[in-house]
């Protein structure tokens, strides 16, 4: 099938300081991924095209982009699922550096702000490991699946408008530790998330849950953190 591919281009170092679109007609299979099309353009048509990708199998989370207006991982979406007219743009709400590459630092700053690591200074009872029941592990299982692709955060209307909001991904990663029975800094994280840029900025637009390539119940996790704060 012939695919009409429209790609966002921005490269101030090469004189393309005004964002614009390039279009390509590419012969593709319905089962090709959008990432395959981008690789084809970069490898055979225009080597200056820039985008992030690493594992190319939906695990590393580097190739989140807007495909036909919706956040997706380019390596997980097939041509047959988006049709033969495909528009590819960078994710919204983070500064664009070049083509599909955005500056992820503000996103990682929000992530770091919620203390996304286990805090427990006590020596385990047996001196070796902290035991956890299957039920205790199940409590935060869903939010362990996050791959930090930023598809959720950059689909959030509140995040587009307010860069003080930590965004869904940071809350998901806080949830992962807040509800971990082994962790001791839940109160501190809840305090951080009850501030101005915390969970109560969420307006439940639900784009985050729809966009998550790992099918995490993002809005549910945010609601659970809200409940933990309000007690």
Partner 1 sequence: MASSASPLKTTATGYATYQGREGHYAFLLHRLTGLGVLLFLIIHILDTSTVYFYPELYEHAIALYRSTPFMLGEIGLVFAVIYHGVNGLRIAVTDLWMPKRWAIQTQRNAVRITLAISVLLWAPAALWMTYNMLLHNHGINLLPFIGTH
Compute the distance between CA of residue 101 and CA of residue 95 in angstroms, rounded to an integer.
Answer: 9
Residues 25-84 that bind partner 1 (CB under 8 A): 66, 68-70
Nearer to partner 1, 10 or 111 (CB): 10
The b/e string for 147-170 (b: 16+ C-beta within 10 A; e otherwise) is bbbbbbbbbbebbeeeeebbbbbb
Q: Which residue has the tokens 């981008």?
A: 38
Smallest gap from residue 230 Cβ to partner 1 (A): 9
Query: Phi, psi (5° rounding) for residue 105?
Result: -55, -45
Question: Who contacts 81 (Cβ-Cβ below 8 Å, separation ≥6)?
Answer: none
| Range in contact with partner 1 (rule: CB under 8 A) among 50-58, 143-151, 185-193, 209-217 | 209-217
Smallest gap from residue 192 Cβ to partner 1 (A): 20
Compute the distance between CA of residue 150 and CA of residue 129 in angstroms, rounded to an integer.
Answer: 33
Compute the distance between CA of residue 58 and CA of residue 54 in angstroms, rounded to an integer.
Answer: 9
Question: Who contacts 114 (Cβ-Cβ below 8 Å, separation ≥6)?
Answer: 166, 170, 171, 173, 174, 189, 192, 193
Smallest gap from residue 183 Cβ to partner 1 (A): 20
Compute the distance between CA of residue 34 and CA of residue 80 in angstroms, rounded to an integer.
Answer: 10
Binding-site member from 46, 85, 103, 188 for partner 1 (CB under 8 A)? 103
How many residues contact partner 1, by CB under 8 A?
34
Nearer to partner 1, 70 or 130 (CB): 70
Nearer to partner 1, 124 or 157 (CB): 157
Q: Which residue has the tokens 């959008």?
A: 34
Smallest gap from residue 115 Cβ to partner 1 (A): 23
Binding status of residue 110 toward partner 1 by CB under 8 A? no
Q: Which residue has the tokens 């036909």?
A: 68
Question: Who contacts 105 (Cβ-Cβ below 8 Å, separation ≥6)?
Answer: none
Binding-site member from 59, 78, 92, 229 for partner 1 (CB under 8 A)? 92
From residue 130 to residue 169, the character string flagging contacts with partner 1 as x (rule: CB under 8 A) and all else as - is -------------------------x-x--xxxx------
| Range in contact with partner 1 (rule: CB under 8 A) among 39-47, 110-118, 125-133, 198-206 | 198-206
Residues that bind partner 1 (CB under 8 A): 10, 12, 17, 19, 66, 68-70, 92-93, 95-97, 103, 155, 157, 160-163, 203-207, 209-210, 217, 219-220, 223-224, 226-227
């Amino acid at each position: 099938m012939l695919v009409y591919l429209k790609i966002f281009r921005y490269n101030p170092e090469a004189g393309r300081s005004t964002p614009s679109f390039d279009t390509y007609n590419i012969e593709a299979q319905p089962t090709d991924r959008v990432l395959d099309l981008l690789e084809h353009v970069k490898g055979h048509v225009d080597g200056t095209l820039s985008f992030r990708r690493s594992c190319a199998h939906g695990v590393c989370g580097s190739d989140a982009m807007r495909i036909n207006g919706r956040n997706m991982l380019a390596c997980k979406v097939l041509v047959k699922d988006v049709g033969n007219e495909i528009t590819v743009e960078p994710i919204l709400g983070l500064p664009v550096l070049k083509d599909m590459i955005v500056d992820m630092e503000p996103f990682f700053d929000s992530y770091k702000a919620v203390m996304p690591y286990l805090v427990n200074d006590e020596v385990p009872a047996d001196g070796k490991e902290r035991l956890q029941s299957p039920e205790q592990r199940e409590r935060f299982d869903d939010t362990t699946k996050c791959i930090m692709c930023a598809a959720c955060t950059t689909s959030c209307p509140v995040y587009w408008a307010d860069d003080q909001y930590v965004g869904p991904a940071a809350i998901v990663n806080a949830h992962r530790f807040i509800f971990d029975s082994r962790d001791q800094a839940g109160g501190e994280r809840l305090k951080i998330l009850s501030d101005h840029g915390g969970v109560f900025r969420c307006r439940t637009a639900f784009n985050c849950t729809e966009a998550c390539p790992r099918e995490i119940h993002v809005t549910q996790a945010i609601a659970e953190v809200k409940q933990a704060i309000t007690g």
